[in-house]
Structure 1
Amino acid sequence: MTQAWDIIPDIHADIRRLQTTLDGLGDDAPFAFLGDFIDAGHNQSTADDAAVLTTVRDLVARNKAVAVMGNHELNAMLFHATGPDGAPLRTHSDKNTDQHRSFIAQFGIATPEAQLWLDWFITLPLWLDLGGIRLVHACWNQTDIDVVAQRRPSGLLEPEDLSEIAADKTPFARAVKNLTNGPELKLPEGVRFHDFKGYPREHVRIAWWRSHAATWRDAALSVKNLTELPDAALSRASDVSLYPADAPPVFTGHYKMSGEPRVEAPRALCLDYPNTPCAYRWRGEEDLRQGNLVTFDEEQQSHKGSFGG
Structure 2
Amino acid sequence: MTQIWDVIPDIHADIHRLDATLALLKERAERDEEAPAPIAFLGDFIDAGHATKVSDDAAVLTHVRQLVQDGQAIAVMGNHELNAILYHTPGPDGAPLRVHGAKNTGQHRSFLRQFGVSTPQAMVWVDWFLTLPLWRDLDGLRVVHACWSQPHIDIIAARRPDGRLQPEDLWEVATESTDFGRAVKIVVGAPELDLPAPYSFHDRNGDERRRVRIAWWRADAPTWRQASLSVPNPLELPEGDVPTGHAVAFYPEGSTPVLVGHYKMDGTPSIEAPQAACLDYPSTACAYRWRGEGRLAKTQLLLAERAESMPA
Residue in structure 2 matching 1:226, options 227, 230, 233? 233
Residue in structure 1 matching 2:271, options 257, 263, 271? 263
In structure 1, distance between residues paired with 2:137 and 2:290:
14
**2:14·2:52 contact (CA, 8 Å) conserved in 1?**
yes
Give the superposition deviation at 1:118: 0.3
Give the percent of matched residue pairs that are identical in Structure 1 and Structure 2.
58
Give the superposition deviation at 1:124: 0.2
Residue in structure 1 matching 2:160, options 134, 144, 152? 152
**RMSD value, Cα:** 1.8
In structure 1, distance between residues paired with 2:69 and 2:168:
25
2:200 maps to 1:191: yes
Residue in structure 2 matching 1:252, options 260, 269, 282? 260
Equivalent residues in 2 for 1:58-69, closer than 5 Å: 58-69=66-77
Which residue is 2:11 aligned to?
11
In structure 1, distance between residues paired with 2:210 and 2:49:
23
2:151 maps to 1:143: yes
Cα deviations by residue, 1:78-102 (Å, 9 ceiling, x for unpaired): 0111111111111111111111111
Give the superposition deviation at 1:245: 1.2
Cα deviations by residue, 1:105-129 (Å, 9 ceiling, x for unpaired): 1111111110000000000000000
SS of 1:247's equivalent in the other structure is coil
In structure 1, distance between residues paired with 2:215 and 2:244:
13
* Structure 2 residue ranges without an equivalent (≥5): 30-35, 308-312
Cα deviations by residue, 1:2-24 (Å, 9 ceiling, x for unpaired): 10000000011100000000001
Give the superposition deviation at 1:201: 4.0
Which residue is 1:305 aligned to?
none
**2:199·2:237 contact (CA, 8 Å) conserved in 1?**
no
Which residue is 2:21 aligned to?
21
SS of 2:193's equivalent in the other structure is strand
In structure 2, distance between residues paired with 1:111 and 1:229:
46
In structure 2, distance between residues paired with 1:36 and 1:262:
20
Equivalent residues in 2 for 1:76-95, closer than 5 Å: 76-95=84-103
Matched residues, number: 297
Give the superposition deviation at 1:104: 0.7
Equivalent residues in 2 for 1:168-247, closer than 5 Å: 168-188=176-196, 189=198, 191-194=200-203, 201-223=209-231, 225-226=232-233, 229-230=236-237, 232-238=239-245, 239-247=247-255
Q: Which amino acid aligns with 1:236?
A: P
Give the superposition deviation at 1:241: 0.7
**2:42·2:260 contact (CA, 8 Å) conserved in 1?**
yes
Q: Which amino acid aligns with 2:9?
A: P
Residue in structure 1 matching 2:124, options 89, 94, 116? 116
Which residue is 2:134 aligned to?
126
SS of 1:277's equivalent in the other structure is strand
In structure 1, distance between residues paired with 2:2 and 2:15:
31
SS of 2:40's equivalent in the other structure is strand
Cα deviations by residue, 1:235-278 (Å, 9 ceiling, x for unpaired): 32422111121211101011111111111111111100011101
Structure number with the bigger relative contact order (C-alpha 8 A, sep ≥ 6) is 2
Which 4+ stretches in 1 moved above 6 angstroms? none
Bigger drift between 206-215 and 172-181 goes to 206-215
**2:42·2:144 contact (CA, 8 Å) conserved in 1?**
yes
